[in-house]
Amino acid sequence: MTVRRTFCWVTLGLLAAALSAPGQALLTVEEAVARAIAGHPLLTAGERQIAVSEGLRRQAGLAPNPSFTFQHENVRTAPEGIPYWTFSDTFAYVEQRFETAGKRRRRVESASVGVERAALEKELLAKQLAGRVKQAYWAAAGARRIYELLLEAARNFLLIVEYHEVRVREGAMAEADLLRIRLESERLNLAAKAAFLESERARISLFREMGVADIPAAVRFE
pTM above 0.85, yes or no: no
Nearest C-alpha neighbor of 196 from the set 12, 1, 9, 65? 12
| Per-residue pLDDT in tens (0 to 9) along the chain, 222 residues | 454 555 454 454 544 555 555 557 889 999 999 999 998 999 989 999 999 988 988 887 877 778 888 776 766 665 666 666 566 667 787 877 776 777 778 888 888 888 999 999 999 999 999 999 999 999 999 999 999 898 888 888 888 888 888 888 888 888 888 888 888 888 888 898 899 999 999 999 999 999 988 888 788 888
215: nearest Cα among 30, 206, 151: 206
Please give the DSSP secondary-structure letter assigned to residue 172.
S
Residue 220 is inside which H or E element, if any?
strand 219-221
Exposed e or buried b per residue across 104-138, where buried means at least 16 C-beta atoms within 10 angstroms of its C-beta:
eeebbeebbebbeebbeebeeebeebbebbbebbe
Phi, psi of 214 (to 5 degrees): -90, 90
What span, in angstroms and rounded, lies between the C-alpha atoms of 91 and 85? 12
CA 186 – CA 165 distance, rounded (Å): 15
Q: How far, in Å, CA of 199 to CA of 215, rounded?
A: 14
Q: Which residues of 174-183 are buried (b: 16+ CB within 10 A; e: fewer)?
A: eeeebeebbe
The residue type at 157:
F
Look up residue 181 and give its amino acid.
Answer: I
